[in-house]
């Protein structure tokens, strides 16, 4: 373990940082007494398997919606903007659907 005075460390900080990055531990002293320690930061150990980046995405809906779900969105936005039938919850925002919207969601197999 290398010992360096604060005075010397101020003059050679970049090289001391490079040494610590390389794995060395440096004890910083004031008037010969240790006051701090400079050591390499712990790196996060991440193991990458052979299949990293080779996964495939699959659609959430098994059949085409033909854009039908888009008809519901403008009405929901308007209702939410003007108070309407929305309830605020600190964790989630719930929107009450009317009968036509519930039917559209059922046709698309969406949870209601």
CATH code assigned at 9: 3.40.1620.10
Q: Does any domain span residue 80?
A: yes
pLDDT at 83: 55
Q: Does any domain span residue 76?
A: yes
Model pTM? 0.39
Handedness of CA 20, 25, 30, 32 (dihedral sign): negative
pLDDT at 96: 66
Its domain, for residue 92, covers 68-107
Q: Does any domain span residue 57?
A: no
Q: How many domains does the chain have?
A: 2
Task: Render pLDDT for 35-50 as a digit per residue (tens, 0 to 9).
Answer: 999 998 887 677 777 8
Nearest CA to 93 among 102, 104, 84? 84
Q: Does any domain span residue 34?
A: yes
Nearest CA to 35 among 69, 4, 76, 80? 4
pLDDT at 41: 86
Q: Does any domain span residue 50?
A: no
Residue 71, by phi and psi: left (phi above 0), alpha (psi -120 to 50) or beta? Answer: alpha
């Amino acid at each position: 373990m290398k010992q360096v005075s604060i005075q010397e460390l101020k003059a050679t900080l970049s090289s001391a940082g490079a040494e610590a990055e390389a794995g060395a531990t440096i004890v910083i002293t004031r008037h010969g007494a240790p006051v701090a320690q400079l050591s390499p930061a712990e790196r996060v150990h991440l193991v990458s398997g052979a299949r990293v980046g080779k996964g495939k995405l699959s659609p959430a809906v098994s059949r085409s919606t033909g854009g039908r779900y888009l008809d519901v969105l403008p009405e929901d936005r308007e209702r939410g903007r003007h108070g309407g039938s929305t309830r605020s919850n600190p964790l989630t925002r719930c929107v009450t659907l009317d009968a036509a919207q519930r039917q559209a969601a059922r046709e698309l197999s969406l949870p209601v």
